[in-house]
């Protein structure tokens, strides 16, 4: 499979390593110093693009690629205000977009566990739910896309809760997200249900980037021949 990487930071390098290990070819690497070469990517020379950049750049990258029918796996987060337009474009062009806040298989299993726990805890309103996410100081967005996905998963199952808030005291009908930035720090997400009697907590801690990179390449492999907008749950059949 011919893969083009858009974004070549720590994650891009990890994806490149996994792609080679799984027998794929990296035909292009687009980064800040050769950004114009994004326009050279086409279905004639590339099977799929894996995009991990910044929220201010991702929508433009996706618009350019999807307009030409190039399948894209996108792991950039914090551009949710433009998601609807990008998803619509992908469908109109008959393309394929796999977009996820986190491509790690383990994290996606954690998403499912979070949903099940939220369903169970809906019967116990005396437990107040909070989310804590911890990352290194170079992470650009806060709260993380993964934390937002977890919060939205809880909101879907809990009609008594209305929204999530970050870094401020939450009302009874809100989910508080604590976003912590420190070095060094593995990517960690915890959901805590707290009452006067006891606490129930589930946690996912990433030991390195390998899980994220492997999941992104798995999504690229899965996307071949697909049309539409998909998530990592589709890739993993969760």
Instruction: Confirm whether 136 is a catalytic residue.
Output: no
Q: 61, 135, 189, 204: which is the annotated catalytic residue?
A: 135
Q: 17, 91, 128, 139: which is the annotated catalytic residue?
A: 139
Instruction: Confirm whether 139 is a catalytic residue.
Output: yes
**What DSSP assignment string belongs to the chain?**
-EEEEE--SHHHHHHHHHHHHTT-EEEEEE-GGGGGGGGG--TTT-SEEEE---TTTHHHHHHHHHHTT--EEE---S-GGGHHHHHHHHHHTT-EEEE-S---HHHHHHHHHHHHHHHHHTT-TTSEEEEEEEE-TT---SS-HHHHHHHHHHHHH-TT--EEEESSPPPTTEEEEEEEE-SS---EEEEEEE-SS-EEEEEEE-SSSHHHHHHHHHHHHHHTT--EEE-HHHHHT-
Q: What positions carry a catalytic annotation?
A: 135, 139
């Amino acid at each position: 499979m011919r893969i083009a990487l858009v974004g070549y930071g720590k994650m891009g390098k990890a994806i490149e390593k996994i792609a080679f290990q799984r027998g794929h070819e990296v035909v292009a690497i687009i980064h800040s110093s050769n950004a114009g070469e994004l326009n050279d990517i086409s279905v004639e020379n590339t099977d799929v693009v894996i995009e991990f950049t910044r929220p201010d750049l991702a929508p433009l990258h996706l618009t350019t690629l999807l307009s030409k029918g190039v399948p894209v796996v996108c792991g950039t987060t914090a551009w949710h205000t433009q998601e609807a337009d990008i998803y619509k474009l992908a469908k109109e062009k008959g393309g394929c977009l796999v977009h996820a806040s986190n491509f790690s298989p383990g994290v996606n299993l954690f998403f499912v566990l979070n949903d099940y726990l939220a369903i169970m805890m809906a019967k116990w309103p005396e437990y107040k739910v909070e989310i804590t996410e911890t990352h290194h100081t170079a992470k650009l967005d806060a709260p993380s896309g993964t934390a937002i996905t977890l919060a939205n998963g809880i909101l879907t199952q809990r009609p008594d809760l209305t929204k999530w808030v970050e870094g401020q005291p939450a009302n009874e009908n809100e989910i508080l997200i604590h976003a912590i930035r420190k070095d060094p720090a593995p990517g960690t997400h915890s959901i805590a249900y707290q009452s006067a009697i006891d606490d129930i907590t589930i946690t996912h801690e990433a030991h390195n980037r390998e899980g994220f990179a492997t999941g992104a390449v798995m999504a690229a492999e899965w996307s071949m021949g697909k049309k539409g907008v998909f998530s990592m749950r589709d890739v993993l059949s969760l």
